């Protein structure tokens, strides 16, 4: 019925790669596509298909009436959304449209259901309604909280679907989502990647002209939908090898993300991560045993710091000096008292060095000479290597690298074997030398 209704009222022409996404049955689809692939046109078609449905049967067999469930197209801002999709939405709808509301950018269909254009810059405008379908366009430019904390609960009643589409902007939360979908660990998710040239309606001469006038890095990102951030000039994956934990001295260095005040406590900035590096300093160099990383509030951060010390008993424990350290210290003292584990915290400083210089100085030479090894099997390894390869691109994070680099301030040179101390004899008893 839906396909017949759409076929008789809409003139949709999707190219083969759009059709692959259109017909895919996964609940959550993450599409990384180059500019002019046809993302907006595809989004409009998908929105109408979903809004044409009046009921859906959930996985538990319950049939849900979709009359009051809305369909959203979410752009980074409302203005962007209206400029990008509103003309396409009105043109494509045909006789499916009963009424349009210009100010709100809302389309009401003949079946009574509505499609709304929304902006992620005003998250509160997304709240308070049930959703059966949502398109998040240019998700890399949105705060991930819009999806995780607002939209996901609103899809629950109808087991609603979502389409994430956009052009990569470094390895941020869009990349993480795409990566998770690509791994196919969750059967509800699927990842897609398409180049701009996959759109057969784009003139070949125009693509060649763009390739000539754009930098290679920008072309890969904007037209080939590459998440690579243009690094690899300082460190490569081949510089790091795997090994078992060797005997040596343990050190822990922490690079804390900033905290921002929120109602009811303190919260970490979403785009930054705390990183706690546990490193064994031995005769052959550094062995990275583990890097604990994530986004935590001050209390959880303090707990993880104390547990890291308790589990590894390092020779020295350092935290980057600054506002983040000051914010976490009261909670750290509370957790020390609660767990009966006490240790001295050594403030780590920038040493008047830029972050790029500090990380390069501490890691590049050691990595080139094979003096940095990684603990095999750690979930953190992939993130560390990605950051190492992308460094020093401004589009990629370097939290894990920075934490490891701080070990250079903590670790004392490690000498294998016995110390040989020559007895000193003064040549002149009166002068003393």
pLDDT digits (tens, 9 = 90+) for 88-107: 999 888 888 999 999 999 99
**Which pLDDT value is given to residue 260?**
52
Using alpha carbons only, how large is the chain's radius of gyration in Å? 27
Say how many domains are in the chain: 2
Judgement on whether residues 198 and 241 belong to the same structural domain of the protein: no
Looking at the structure, do residues 81 and 185 belong to the same domain, yes or no?
Answer: yes
Does any domain span residue 428?
no
Contact criterion met (CB below 8 Å) for 352 and 358: no
- Give the mean pLDDT of the chain: 85
Do residue 257 and residue 294 come from a single domain?
yes
- For the record, the structure tokens of 87 come out as 């003309």
Q: What percent of the chain has pLDDT over 70?
A: 85
Q: Are residues 385 and 253 in the same domain?
A: yes
**Residues 318 and 363 occupy one common structural domain:** yes
Q: Are residues 370 and 284 both part of a single domain?
A: yes
Q: Burial level of 165, CB count in 10 A (0-12/13-18/19+)? A: buried
Higher model confidence: residue 230 or residue 368?
A: 368
pLDDT at position 115 = 95
In this predicted structure, which of 144-158, 272-286, 383-397 has the lowest mean pLDDT? Answer: 383-397
Of 158, 157, 155, 121, nearest in space to 135 by CA: 155
Q: Are residues 296 and 377 in the same domain?
A: yes
Which CATH number covers residue 266?
Answer: 3.30.420.320
Residue 303 lies in a domain: yes
What's the CA angle centered on 102, arms 101 and 106, to 5 degrees? 45
Both 256 and 107 in a single domain? Answer: no
SS (H, E, C) the chain: CHHHHHHHHCCCCCCHHHHHHHHCCCCEEEEEECCCCCHHHHHHHHHHHHHCCCEEECCCCCEEECCCCEEEEEECCHHHHHHHHHHHHHHHHHHHEEEEECCCCEEEECCCCEEEEEECCCHHHHCCCCEEEEEEECHHHCCCHHHHHHHHHHCCCCCCEEEEEECCCCCCHHHHHHHHHHHCCCCCEEEEEECHHHCCCCCHHHHHHHHHHCCHHHHHHHCCCCCCCCCCCCCCHHHCEEECCCCCEEEEEEECCCEEEECCEEEECCCCCEEEEEEEEECCEEEEEEEEEECCCHHHHHHHHHHHHHHHCCCEEEEECCHHHHHHHHHHHHHHHHHCCCCCCEEECCCCCCHHHHHHHHHHHHHHCCCEEEECCCCHHHHHHHHHHHCCCCCCCCHHHHHHHCHHHHCCCCCCCCCCCCCCCCCCCCCCC
pLDDT at 5 over 50: no
Is residue 45 included in any domain, yes or no?
yes
Query: Same structural domain for residues 198 and 314?
Result: no
Alpha-carbon separation of residue 432 from 401, 426, 429 (angstroms): 48, 6, 5
Q: Are residues 267 and 209 in the same domain?
A: no
Q: Domain of 175: which CATH number?
A: 3.40.50.300
- 163 and 274 share a domain? no
Q: Which domain holds residue 346?
A: 237-410
Q: Tokens for 393?
A: 């691109």
Q: Point out the domain boundary residue: 189, 222, 255.
A: 222
pLDDT band at 392 (very low <50, low <70, confident <90, very high): confident
Measured CA angle at 142 (ends 141, 144), to 5 deg: 130
217 and 290 inside one domain: no
pLDDT confidence of 432, banded at 50, 70, 90? Answer: low
Domain end position, chosen among 222, 251, 279: 222
Q: With a cut of 50, say whether residue 4 has pLDDT above it.
A: no
More confident residue, 129 or 413: 129
Query: Could you tell me the two tokens for 310?
Result: 């308790």
- Per-residue pLDDT reduced to its tens digit, 11-25: 678 889 899 999 999
């Amino acid at each position: 019925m839906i396909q017949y209704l759409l076929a008789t009222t809409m003139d949709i022409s999707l190219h083969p790669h759009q059709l692959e996404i259109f017909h895919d049955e996964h609940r959550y689809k993450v599409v990384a596509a180059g500019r002019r692939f046809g993302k907006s046109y595809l989004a409009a078609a998908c929105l109408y298909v979903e809004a044409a449905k009046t009921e859906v049967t959930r996985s538990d067999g319950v049939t849900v009436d979709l009359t009051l469930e809305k369909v959203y197209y979410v752009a980074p801002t409302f203005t962007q959304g209206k400029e990008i999709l509103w003309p396409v939405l009105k043109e494509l709808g045909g006789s499916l449209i009963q009424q349009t509301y210009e100010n709100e950018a809302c389309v009401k269909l003949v079946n009574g259901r509505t499609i709304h254009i929304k902006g992620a810059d005003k998250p509160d405008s997304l709240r308070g309604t049930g959703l059966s379908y949502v398109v998040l366009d240019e998700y890399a430019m949105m705060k991930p909280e819009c999806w995780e904390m607002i939209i996901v609960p609103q899809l629950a009643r109808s087991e609603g679907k979502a389409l994430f589409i956009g052009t990569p902007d470094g390895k941020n939360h869009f990349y993480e989502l795409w990566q998770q979908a690509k791994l196919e660990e969750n059967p509800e998710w699927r990842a897609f990647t398409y180049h701009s040239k996959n759109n057969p309606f784009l003139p070949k001469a125009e693509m060649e002209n763009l390739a000539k006038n754009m930098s290679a890095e920008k072309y890969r990102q904007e037209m080939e939908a590459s998440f690579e951030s243009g690094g690899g000039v300082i460190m490569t994956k081949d510089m790091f090898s795997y090994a078992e934990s060797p005997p040596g001295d343990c050190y822990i260095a922490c690079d804390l993300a900033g905290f921002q005040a929120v109602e009811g406590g303190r919260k970490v900035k979403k785009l930054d991560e705390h990183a706690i590096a546990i490193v064994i300093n031995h005769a052959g160099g550094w062995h990275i045993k583990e890097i604990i990383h994530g986004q935590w509030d001050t209390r959880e951060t303090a707990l993880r710091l104390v547990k890291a010390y308790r589990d590894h008993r390092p020779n020295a424990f350092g935290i980057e000096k600054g506002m983040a350290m000051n914010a976490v210290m009261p909670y750290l003292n509370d957790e020390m008292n609660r767990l009966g584990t006490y240790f001295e915290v050594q403030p780590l400083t920038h040493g008047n060095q830029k972050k790029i210089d500090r990380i390069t100085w501490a890691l590049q030479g050691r990595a080139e000479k094979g003096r940095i090894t990684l603990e095999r099997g750690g979930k953190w390894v992939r993130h560390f290597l990605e950051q190492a390869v992308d460094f020093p691109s401004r589009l990629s994070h370097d939290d894990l690298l920075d934490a490891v680099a701080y070990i250079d301030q903590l670790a004392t040179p490690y000498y294998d074997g016995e110390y040989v101390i020559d007895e000193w004899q003064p040549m002149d008893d009166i002068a003393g030398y």
